[in-house]
Amino acid sequence: MSNLIANGKVVDDEWTLVKLPPPPDEKVRKQAGKVVLFKLTGENTHTNSQIESVEIPPEGKVLLPLPLWTLKKQELSNRVSKGEIGVWLETHELVESLSCSISDINKLPVIGVHVERFADGRIFTIGNLLRSRYGFKNELRAFGDVLRDQLYFLKRCGFDSYLIRNDRSAADALASLNDFSEPYQGAVDITQPVWRRIDRQG
Amino acid sequence: MYKYDAIDQKIVNQRVAQYRDQTRRYLAGELSDDEFRPLRLQNGLYIQRHAPMLRIAIPYGMLSSKQLRKLAEISKRFDKGYGHFSTRQNLQLNWPKLEDTPDILSELATVEMHAIQTSGNCIRNITTDQFAGVAPDEIIDPRAIAEIIRQWSTFHPEFALLPRKFKIAVSGTINDRAIVQAHDIGLEFYKDNSNKTAIRVWVGGGLGRTPILGTVIREHLEWQNVLTYCEAIIRVYNLHGRRDNAYKARIKILVKALGIEEFRSQVESEWQHIKDSPNTISESELLRVSKYFDEMPYENLQDSCEAFENSFNNNPAFSAWVKRCVHPHKKSGYRAVTLSLKPHGKAPGDATSEQMSVVADLSDKYSFGEIRVSHEQNLILADVKLSDLFPLWEQARAVGLATPNIGLLTDIICCPGGDFCSLANAKSIPIAEAIQIQFDNLDYLYDIGDIELNISGCMNACGHHHVGHIGILGVDKDGSEWYQVTIGGKQGNDASIGTVIGPSFSAEEMPGVVSRIIDVYIKEREQDELFIETVRRIGIAPFKNHVYAKETTNV
């Protein structure tokens, strides 16, 4: 059973997710005795040789990590035209790196953003930038530690598909897309703030 | 004050429903502790030492009598008959049951209240001057913009999970009373050369473990742009603020790391993209919200009253109270009144359910049914007629709300500390109480004059100890409780961070330490010099020498 929500319902996932191997020197980093949970924005985690060693499935729709895409995009141009290539970002990667790597970002049928920990709110800004700054119009997917209580915010920041963490029910999560019906501030989905949408003078 | 329309009401009602379901899922084991934590925190619920603590939002410190009566009822029904007013102008309940919190929020919603974003890594309650709208030194009443910011920040989707908490203060007076320099963003309203409302934007201030005063990021911002400019600041922070270390995650650390020039240039370049986006405030929206903060229906009164003057001249207790607890008002014949929540020997900022009910009644009788909470943790009736001061005083005194100590040594700002808070290293309330008992002599307190003593039970600095003229910080040394003392801190336009005077003290030593600091001031002061002025003139060395002197000779 798929755990993907798109367009407000649970649907099958056509995309094959390609991941990078864990970096060889990924040791547990600690600061003041506490494990460091988040990577810094702009931090590089993999070497080129590691990235090169990743195999891309030769057929079908594949969702590639940004470093792999950046490295292999020339040889993938055919598949891009066929709409078989999507790219995903980590929350510590820069949206600019993706936008610079392609002449028209809308050649990608899907962009994914991986959130390692649900408390990492960078995903919201990334979604917002992709939609409002870079004009991305196709499927924008959140995956990773995606839980129902963040869906409403993700939706408002321009996400329209959500791969719910696999130990949770996507069907249950659907309800949370509509936790609030009339938001105050303008954002990506509803661009106008409430005072421009509704006459509140009465 | 602001009144909800159907839209506001629906949002808080939907919040209650959402939170009720989240609590249900948590209790049913469908949400882990880690997953539930940010959800409950953003509804003001902490898990504390003895019980959960629920922090109820009081936007920019304003309450109606109806709301305060509801808080009285809630604190009686769901808690132990009292509540604690905090330095962020909120109300904290120390003993609610987790299972009851959805019902409490549902009760709050009936009087247009909530606990939204009173904790957690998000934009917190907006704070301001407790005398907003009535202060003689006010240039612009900031409350309408504060309300617009409150609405904008409520469930702002992009800033729902920031690296750390985010506090915004607004101020529109000549003398800052909102400590705008100690906030993540401080918005200082003024009239520019063309007499238009403009905002000086401060960024990167904050107390906590690394106390830093803010820096001006923009000298002149048109009020229409305040939301989009805040969005630009918070967006840069959301992407680049540190998430790897909670102690280095506040915006002040990012501003320091990048330098204000670089930070400003990133914010400005971000802002160019969103400057005229739909969240730009329209004239009509400002007008709509401003109507709720129109002037009260004041009477035209003389600024004198015979009955008042008679009582003032013949009743020393009353006149003492007037001198400390009654404040000037922009309108002739009116005064603002502080009801002290600092009786000597009680927890600073605490009010019983009965006291809350009485204050609600008093506000209906004497002050248009409105109450303010100050960041100094007192309650304010902002619009009292001169002729009503005496009857008000008598009734406030009967319930212990007329201690004439506002601005004096015993008007201590104090966090809940180790008695309640699980973050605290040390108790703070017993220290405050011991100092209040030590100085339980009004004549001596008046002689010492205006002074601010602030106590925090840990470096999170909820008691604002860094900006206290005397600051006391609870520290943990090998599992026991010690207290570090700073002097020379100050809030206001010329804010400063206090300097540590030396090694820390035990709880028992603290009243004596404060006495010795005061002794030095009494000896060294010139004419009418206030404590803070003496400290700034002579430096901390004389205080340090006397406090740490071996023998207890008198100065």
Nearest residue, CB atoms, A181 vs list B10, B38, B273: B10
Question: What is the distance, to the nearest Å, from the Cα of residue B71 to the centroid of all Cα atoms in its chain?
Answer: 18
Range of the domain at A145: 4-197
- What does the DSSP 8-state code read for residue A109? S
Mean residue pLDDT of chain B comes to 95
- What is this structure's pTM? 0.93
List, for residues B318-377, the tens digit of each pLDDT value. 999 999 999 999 999 999 999 999 999 899 999 999 999 999 999 999 999 999 999 999
CB contacts < 8 Å between A and B, how many? 124
Q: Give the start-to-end residue ranges of the domains of chain B.
A: 6-109, 143-290, 306-398, 413-547
**pLDDT beneath 50, residues of chain A:** none
Cβ atoms of residues B490 and B499 within 8 Å = no
Which residue is it, tokens 């003398």?
Answer: B175
Interchain contact, B156 vs A185, CB within 8 Å: yes
Report CB contact under 8 Å: B278, A180: no
Strands A161-163 vs A139-144: parallel, antiparallel or unpaired: parallel
**Average pLDDT of span B395-402:** 97
- Picking from A128, A184, A194, the nearest residue to B158 by CB comes out as A128
Can you give the pLDDT at residue A31?
Answer: 66
Per CATH, which fold does B306-398 belong to? Sulfite Reductase Hemoprotein; domain 2 (3.90.480)
For residue A184, the domain's CATH number is: 3.20.20
**Residue A31's closest chain B neighbor by CA?**
B245
- Which residues of chain B neighbour A157 with C-beta distances below 8 Å? 157-158
> Which pLDDT value is given to residue B478?
84
Could you give the C-alpha distances from B509 to B82, B416, B438, B483, B547, in angstroms and in order?
A: 30, 20, 12, 9, 11
Q: Check CB contact under 8 Å for A39 and B235.
A: no
Please give the residue of chain A at the shortest CA–CA distance from B20. A179
Q: Does residue B243 sit at the A interface (CB-CB below 8 Å)?
A: yes
Cβ pair B14:A180 closer than 8 A: yes
> Residues A115, A144: contact at Cβ < 8 Å?
yes
Candidate from B11, B158, B288 with C-beta closest to A125: B158
B209 at interface of A, judged by CB pairs closer than 8 A: no
Give the span between the Cα atoms of B491 and B493, in whole angstroms.
7
The CATH number, out of the four listed (3.20.20.70, 3.30.565.10, 3.40.50.450, 3.90.480.20), of the domain defined by the range B6-109: 3.90.480.20
Residue in A40, A120, A182 closest to B7 by CB:
A182
Q: What are the chain A neighbours of B151 within 8 Å (beta carbons)?
A: 184-185, 194
Please name the residues between 379 and 398 in chain B that touch chain A, using a CB distance below 8 Å.
Answer: none
Please work out, in degrees rounded to the nearest 5, the angle formed at the alpha carbon of residue A23 by the alpha carbons of A19 and A28. 120
User: Which residues in chain B have their CB less than 8 angstroms from residue A195's CB?
Assistant: 282, 284-285, 288
Identify whether the C-beta of residue B375 lies closer than 8 Å to the C-beta of residue B419: no
B151, B162, B244 ranked by CB distance to A121: nearest? B162
Residues of B whose CB is below 8 A from A34: 245-246
Q: Please judge whether B247 and A39 are an interchain contact, meaning their C-beta atoms are less than 8 angstroms apart.
A: no
Q: Residue B86's pLDDT band (boundaries 50, 70, 90)?
A: very high
- Asked whether residue B260 carries a pLDDT value surpassing 70, the answer given is yes
Which residues of A fall within a CB distance of 8 Å from B236?
none
Is the CB of A194 less than 8 angstroms away from the CB of B245? Answer: no
- Chain B residues in contact with A196 by the CB 8 A cut-off are 278, 282
Of the candidates B83, B174, B68, B186, the one whose C-alpha atom is nearest the C-alpha of residue B127 is B186
Listing DSSP states for A113-182 in one string gives: EEESSTT-THHHHHHHIIIIIS---SEEEEEES--GGGHHHHHHTT--EEE--TTS-HHHHGGGGGS-SS
As a whole number of angstroms, the distance between CA B283 and CA B306 comes to 45
Q: Does A11 touch chain B (CB under 8 A)?
A: no
Q: Which of B99, B178, B113 is nearest to B150 (CA)?
A: B113
Q: Closest partner residue to A31 among B238, B244, B273, by Cβ? A: B244
Q: Chain B: nearest CA to A41, how far in angstroms?
A: 6
In a domain, A202, yes or no: no
Say yes or no: B227 contacts chain A, CB-CB below 8 A. yes
Q: Do B151 and A39 touch (CB under 8 A)?
A: no
B143-290 shares its CATH topology with B306-398: no
Give strand pairing partners of B188.
B171, B200
B273 contacts chain A (CB < 8 A): yes
Contact B157 A152 (CB under 8 A): yes
Residues B42 and A149 sit within 8 Å (Cβ to Cβ): no
- pLDDT tens sequence across B116-149: 999 999 999 999 999 999 999 999 999 999 999 9
**What distance in Å separates the CA atoms of residue B347 and residue B340, rounded to the nearest whole number?**
12
Q: Do B238 and A187 touch (CB under 8 A)?
A: no
Whether residue B159 lies within 8 A of chain A, CB to CB, comes out as: yes
Is B38 close to A119, i.e. CB distance below 8 A? yes
For B514-536, b/e burial (b = at least 16 CB within 10 A) is bebbbebbeebbeeebebbebbb
Q: Which CATH number fits domain B413-547: 3.40.50.300, 3.90.550.10, 1.10.3720.10, 3.30.413.10?
A: 3.30.413.10
ipTM over 0.90: yes
B32 close contact with A: CB closer than 8 A = no
Give the per-residue pLDDT at A1: 75
Instruction: Check: CB of residue A25 under 8 Å from CB of residue A41.
Output: no
Q: Which residues of A touch B156 (CB under 8 A)?
A: 185, 187
Whether B239 and A193 lie within 8 Å, measured CB to CB: no
Using a CB-CB distance cutoff of 8 angstroms, which residues of chain A are in contact with residue B238? 121-122, 124-125
- Length of chain B in terms of residues written: 555
Task: Retrieve residue B484's tokens.
Answer: 């570090």
Q: How many domains does chain A have?
A: 1
3-state secondary structure of B476: strand
Query: Least CA distance to A38: which residue of chain B?
Result: B244
Kindly state whether B224 is in contact with chain A, defined as any CB-CB distance less than 8 angstroms.
Answer: no
Cβ–Cβ below 8 Å for A195 and B284: yes
Whether the predicted pLDDT of B555 surpasses 60: no
Shortest distance between the Cα of A121 and any Cα of chain B, in A, equals 4
Say which CATH architecture domain B143-290 belongs to: 2-Layer Sandwich (3.30)
Nearest residue in chain B measured CA to CA from A119: B161
- Give the closest-approach CA distance of A7 to chain B in angstroms: 19
Selected residues 103-122 of chain A with any CB under 8 Å from a CB in chain B: 118-122
Q: Is the pLDDT of residue B551 over 90?
A: no
How far away is chain B from the Cα of A94, in angstroms, using its nearest Cα?
A: 9
- The residue-averaged pLDDT of B72-83 equals 96
Cβ atoms A71, A51 nearer than 8 A: yes
- Over residues B483-530, the pLDDT tens digits come to 999 999 999 999 999 999 999 999 999 999 999 999 999 999 999 999
pLDDT tens for residues B540-550? 999 999 999 97
Query: Quick check: A183 contacting B, CB < 8 Å?
Result: yes
CB B105 within 8 A of CB B114: yes
B383 near B370, Cβ under 8 Å? Answer: yes
Rounded to an integer, what is the distance from CA B217 to the centroid of its chain?
A: 23
